[in-house]
Amino acid sequence: MKQLIWLALAMVVMVGTATPVNSAGADAAEKLGWQLAVHAYTFKEFHITEAIDKTVGLGLKYMSLSGSVNLGGPKLVPTLGISAADLAAIKKKLASAGIVKVVNWGVVKLPPDEAKCREVFEFARKIGTEILVSEPEPEALDIIEKLCKEFNMKVAIHNHPKRPKDPKYKVWDPAYVMSLVKNRDPRLGACADTGHWLRSGLDPVECLKKLEGRIICLHFKDLNEKGNPKAHDVPWGTGVGDAKGQMAELKRQGFRGAFCIEYEHNWKDNLPELAQCVKFFNTTCAELAGN
């Protein structure tokens, strides 16, 4: 009887604080060439060290750094502006916690100014990542392409939702993003934010098809509504985004790279929903790897 009681208590603790890891699913993801990471902005309400602990608590070993980080003050701090000491402390925490790689960093600004862009690329090298996520001005692309070659880094163009009052904002459209990169070095491509496509009223699977061969990484999402700018994240596989269909399409394309969880809902208590995303990802990877 005592053993049963202790077992029940242990299960309560596990449900409340940790996520059982589906090792078969994680192995399947590696077989597919995929990494599951948490984008640090998901935990923007918490100090970056706690964000790292929460990521590891989900059974993950990859992380994406956001353009600004929580260092315990009243406001987020631009990552590029943090001190050498803070960067060293973050890198030490990542290593000691078991995060094996920062898969990308962004969204960062890459203006049509070589000196400013170079500063960003150099900081990315200090972080230890090879992928920058940005929404650069088209006028900056020649400079960015040059630096991608020089630093051997990739730049993935990110998309936010369509802005009806700002017709100059075009990267919400995957066809436009493809037009920017298709004739450039393969180190320039897309960071596909599949939730923002849904907010723009687009079909994520069709959007992925339009970017075939140029998808570098993803801010992977599922939402409760399509075509509503205020739609919110839901656990993967429970919304309107056909998350499984997206993953099947990415397998068909031979995509290799990171799926970043950027969960922008229930900011202070999102771990249970993130755990569902991890479970869905691992289960789907196991299915796809077996096909």
pLDDT tens-place string over residues 199-246:
999 999 999 999 999 999 999 999 999 999 999 999 999 999 999 999
**CA-CA-CA-CA dihedral for 75, 194, 103, 189, to nearest 10:** -110
pLDDT beyond 90 at 13: no
SS3 track for 73-91: CCCCEEHHHCCHHHHHHHH
What is the assigned CATH class of domain 22-289? alpha beta
Angle at 48 between CA 46 and CA 54, to 5 degrees: 70
- Are 97 and 53 in contact, with CB atoms under 8 Å apart? yes
pLDDT tens-place string over residues 238-283:
999 999 999 999 999 999 999 999 999 999 999 999 999 999 999 9
Phi and psi, residue 215, nearest 5°: -85, 120
Segments making up each domain of the chain, as ranges: 22-289
pLDDT beyond 90 at 7: no
Distances (CA, A) of 160 to 37, 96, 113, 124, 283: 20, 34, 23, 22, 28
Distance of CA 156 to the CA centre of its chain: 11
pLDDT beyond 70 at 2: no
Say how far apart CA 265 and CA 61 lie, in whole Å.
22
